[in-house]
Structure 1
Amino acid sequence: MSQRELFLRLIQVSLWNQHSHFGPLDNVRYRALMQMADQQAVRGLVSNSILDETNAVILERDNALETLRFDHENKQLNSKIDAGLSALVDLLDFHQIRFVVVKGQTIECLYPIRHLRIGGDIDFYVMPEDFERAKTLLQQEWNVKYDEGDANKHLEFIHNHVIFEMHYLLLHFASNRVQKEFDTIVKCTKIVRRKMNGISVPVLAPEFEILYTFLHLYHHFLEVGIGIRHLCDMAVLCHYHFSNGLDKHLLKSHLDKLGFTKAFSAFGAVCIQTLRLQENEFPIPVDANDYRFVEPIMAEIFLRGNMGVYFRKYAVRSGFAYFCESLYSKIHLYRLFYSLAPKETRALIWREIPTKILRALKL
């Protein structure tokens, strides 16, 4: 079994709560696996498979201790983020502020074992009519200081060592027509509640939760890069909603209107072939043409790593050299995957690229 095959198998075993027989892992192979796991933001999944005694993984003593230590620290991190989420829900619910929590812990709780997913920040979207009230409330109650973050989408703040992103726009599209359609979908979507750690958290309706999670994934895939963790989130959501009710026709309608059906199917093929998601659990049919994109997509994911940080030569995301590197990368990806979402990609080419060139020339 090659290194990549072993890596993916370790992920699959944790993702679907399966068991396998792996045998001894020497120090060289263990180090290579952990490096790959860090680059793809799935160390929690890989460590869980290694620590599960039924998988018969044999490690050198220092490596075993390192894996146990990471597992413990990851559980502590997720517990801290869970506490932050609980405090946020209690505060906003009490003051009757309408909001919805997206990604992160709302997906983490759907994994077969809690804390397999490495924790990050807490993203939540506040309805436009309540945004300013929520902003003032959090300043008064938590004494937070806001960072503009992404000027197009959200404000950032830290409370009790947990990072929060308060969104006033869930996604920004280059195409005005796509943006208008997406904003209409946002206004019409229902909000449901999901039980997590004894609290009821407002989340997106199943169809829109899958749609948003995918669109967020695809945006980052083209712009900076994604890790396999993003694929795992998508696969886990499809698996969960397949068993708990999903309006597939409504999801397909949203994808068609936005022009992302082909892209969604291609990444579905990736989840099925790479992560072993059951084909019948993916919300729309996947055909041979979709599977043609599996290898090119996975090549980019392994090359760039989570958020593209392992591909970039320039650590600081500014300066002329960084903009040139970023521009070259984007043009490469737009060309390679143009057919998956042509409407949005055309807008990126004609609107975003000239803007970035002008910005680079001013540096």
Structure 2
Amino acid sequence: MERVYTVFFSLLQSGLWSKPIASTDKLPLSPAEWQSLYELSKAQTVEGLVFDAIEQLDVRLLPPTDLWMKWLVRVTKIEQHNRIMNQGLGEQIVIFERLGVEPVLLKGQGVAVHYNAPLRRTCGDIDWYFSTKEQYEKANDWVIQQGGDIKYVPGRSMCYHYKGLEIDHHSNLIDLYNPFVKPFLQKLIAVERAKDESIDIMGHICRTLSPLLNIIQVVSHVLKHLLSFGLGLRQLCDVARLYYVHRKEIEGTYLRDIYRQLGIERWVVLMHDLLVRYLGLERHFLPYPINGNEKADWMMEDILRAGNFGFFDKQYSDEVRTGERKNAFLRVSRNLWKYGRYVPIESFFFPLVQVYTRVLSR
């Protein structure tokens, strides 16, 4: 499997940065190894990026024809779904304008625009953030009036489907649970929200966060999922792309100080190590220098084992089919123990807030 991982990361880096494949000395792979690489790419939700690189390979190094065609079909469907997502976004922007609310697009399609091939980034759901309670409730009231399957977590988010698309409404912007950093975070958000940017979605102007706040939002979202069930490499690719495209806009010392005040600086060092050594982000594109002595191989091993949001752990192989995670308490406890060394206060309050919101939603 080590050979498969070596080729996987070489292809992923090539697709992520649109550059030649660093090395092909491990190719060609056997049909079984290619199948393993395909499954790995799916589990990490980076199959579009990896396929970008595969298209550059000499014909003698390509995967078996049947797998190559299967992969092509899957990537084509990803591109089609991204177009549908963009169309749905455009329609919702019009709806929100009529309601008199102006949400901010988080993650997802808002980050995809920073990829060289946005349509090949595997998409998830559509996340909207509403700045005020009034706007949040007005948008939620519209959803309720439409009927359908709605999941509502009091004071935090509403999840529903719009024309087959998964949509989330959020009243909380940053996924951090340490109450002691809330005052600092609120001041930071107030300053940065004045610098909101916008992107064009199907001819409609959509509001997005400032570069700095966008990075903090995505980074905190990565940490949130690592503290629970895990996540796929796609989310780390998002961080790498944001660092790269905003490298001239972000003052590194300032960002580092923000991470420190949020209590996540030590964990960010680990994340930076993964971005450089595994995803191929050049060191000088990091917002500030990293400590080369801190290695995060154990964290990458966890990510590769668990897959996207923890659904691909072979110990719980039926989770993708059932949509339910097993041994939740044990799995989350292990992650909280591992990361507690790096984000102790966040690790302490994360489960408390999760339990509290679950009680409220009953």
Q: Which category of TM-score, normalised to the shorter sequence, fits these structures?
A: 0.7 to 0.9
Q: What code does the residue aligned with 1:276 have?
A: G
Rounded Cα–Cα distance in structure 2 between residues aligned with 1:159 and 1:318: 22
Deviation at 1:253, TM superposition (A): 3.4
Q: Which secondary structure does the structure 1 equivalent of 2:246 belong to?
A: helix
Q: Which secondary structure does the structure 2 equivalent of 1:145 belong to?
A: coil
Rounded Cα–Cα distance in structure 2 between residues aligned with 1:172 and 1:209: 12
Q: What code does the residue aligned with 1:157 have?
A: Y
Rounded Cα–Cα distance in structure 2 between residues aligned with 1:176 and 1:184: 14
Partner of 2:279: 275
**Is the Cα contact below 8 Å between 1:178 and 1:344 reproduced in 2?**
no
Q: What code does the residue aligned with 1:267 have?
A: M
1:223-242, aligned counterparts within 5 Å?
223-242=228-247
Q: Which secondary structure does the structure 2 equivalent of 1:84 belong to?
A: helix
Matched, 1:182 2:201: no
Deviation at 1:185, TM superposition (A): 3.2
Calculate the aligned-residue CA RMSD, in Å.
2.7
Q: 1:157 to 1:327 in 2, by over 3 A?
A: closer
Partner deviation per Cα, 1:236-276 (whole Å, 9 max, x = no partner): 11111114x22434433332221111112220111011111
Matched, 1:308 2:313: no
Deviation at 1:120, TM superposition (A): 1.4
Partner of 1:12: 13
Which of 62, 65, 68 is residue 61 of structure 1 equivalent to? Answer: 65
Q: 1:286 to 1:152 in 2, by over 3 A?
A: farther
Partner deviation per Cα, 1:33-71 (whole Å, 9 max, x = no partner): 011111111111112211235687423221221122112
**Is the Cα contact below 8 Å between 1:271 and 1:277 reproduced in 2?**
yes
Partner of 1:336: 338
Partner of 2:212: 207
Q: Which runs of 5+ in 2 are unaligned?
A: none
Partner deviation per Cα, 1:188-229 (whole Å, 9 max, x = no partner): 432211234543221111111001100000110111101111
Deviation at 1:11, TM superposition (A): 0.5
Q: Which moved more, 1:304-313 or 1:52-61?
A: 52-61
Report how many aligned residue pairs link the two structures.
Answer: 347
Matched, 1:87 2:88: no
Q: Which secondary structure does the structure 2 equivalent of 1:91 belong to?
A: helix
Rounded Cα–Cα distance in structure 2 between residues aligned with 1:46 and 1:186: 35
Q: What code does the residue aligned with 1:123 have?
A: D
Q: Which secondary structure does the structure 2 equivalent of 1:2 belong to?
A: helix
Q: TM-score, normalised by structure 1?
A: 0.86
User: What percentage of aligned pairs have identical amino acids?
Assistant: 20
Rounded Cα–Cα distance in structure 1 between residues aligned with 2:99 and 2:177: 35
Deviation at 1:305, TM superposition (A): 1.0
Q: 1:227 to 1:55 in 2, by over 3 A?
A: farther
Which of 117, 124, 128 is residue 121 of structure 2 equivalent to? Answer: 117
Matched, 1:51 2:51: no
Partner deviation per Cα, 1:116-162 (whole Å, 9 max, x = no partner): 2111110010122311222234556xx35361254552111211211
Rounded Cα–Cα distance in structure 1 between residues aligned with 2:10 and 2:16: 10
Which of 99, 104, 124 is residue 100 of structure 1 equivalent to? Answer: 104
Q: What code does the residue aligned with 2:332 have?
A: K
